[in-house]
Structure 1
């Protein structure tokens, strides 16, 4: 009786291993996505704090319209640098694939409010898509998605 059950555990393990690996990698990717979104929102808040203190040059009392680098002593470029690189003049982004072109800064002049919006295309660690087994090259699911974070501040 004992010899007929030989190897059953190995067969069961080989059947369950792909499912267990898929579950483990999926859990890891979801955790990584949540961490990166949390990091992105913190980066936007830090840049917002910097911009809130520099958007009104020489304490004129209102945000310049249009708000650009020449009207606020490079505050737009510096804010984008702080958001993407962590400090002014950085070269390595804090999140892979994030650039200053992903950052949009808009002004609401009547309220002296400034909104910073970031569009970040999150990419999974283990590839950009999941192929559908045996259905050809055309049948695949894109696993990347867009993360958007925004922060509205009132200039001081």
Structure 2
């Protein structure tokens, strides 16, 4: 005698494929977001290290013992910006920047008080997918995120 009732295998056919179709775009978007967040943290860490290196460089060069005060001349400022962007005081070999798109215009060097120097790097992180999301109405939504790295060191 045959039992009538629910046949589980026929009712479940194709269900796994539909679950995959629904969840795969969400998982892909989540993985892209994690990847972009990791890339942003890597670039921020690179900016922090670059500002520390530039701060160390300018702090060791800025103090003028003859005058007994800071001496931030144009050459030292230019070399400090190059250290922050390229890692070296002069860039004759065309080294790439520490972070893609970083220029010497993003670096600010200034005296703080009578014995300290400040190096500040302001950089806009742009995700891989683009700089803005298109809008159906109104203006586009910008995706750029400003990363700031500031170091203050005592001149030696």
Residue 148 of structure 1 pairs with residue 148 of structure 2: yes
Of 41, 64, 73, the match for 1:68: 73
Q: Distance in 2 between matches of 1:52 and 1:31?
A: 31
Q: Distance in 1 between matches of 2:80 and 2:66?
A: 18
Q: How far apart are residue 139 of structure 1 and its match?
A: 5.8
Match of 1:86 in 2: 87
Q: CA 1:7/1:140 → structure 2, altered by over 3 Å: closer, same or farther? A: farther
Q: How far apart are residue 59 of structure 1 and its match?
A: 5.1
Q: How far apart are residue 60 of structure 1 and its match?
A: 3.5
Match of 1:12 in 2: 19
Q: Runs ≥4 in structure 1, deviation > 3 angstroms?
A: 57-60, 137-140
Match of 1:113 in 2: 116
The gaps in structure 1 that reach 5 residues or longer are: none
Residue 125 of structure 1 pairs with residue 140 of structure 2: no
Q: CA 1:5/1:131 → structure 2, altered by over 3 Å: closer, same or farther? A: farther
Q: How far apart are residue 125 of structure 1 and its match?
A: 1.7
Match of 2:105 in 1: 101
Considering only CA atoms, is the larger Rg found in Structure 1 or Structure 2? 2
Deviations 1:48-107 (A, max 9, x none): 11111111246542103xx222xxxx2111111111011122332110111000111111
Q: TM-score, normalised by structure 1?
A: 0.84
Q: CA 1:128/1:112 → structure 2, altered by over 3 Å: closer, same or farther? A: same
- RMSD between aligned residues: 1.8
Q: CA 1:61/1:9 → structure 2, altered by over 3 Å: closer, same or farther? A: same
Match of 1:35 in 2: 42
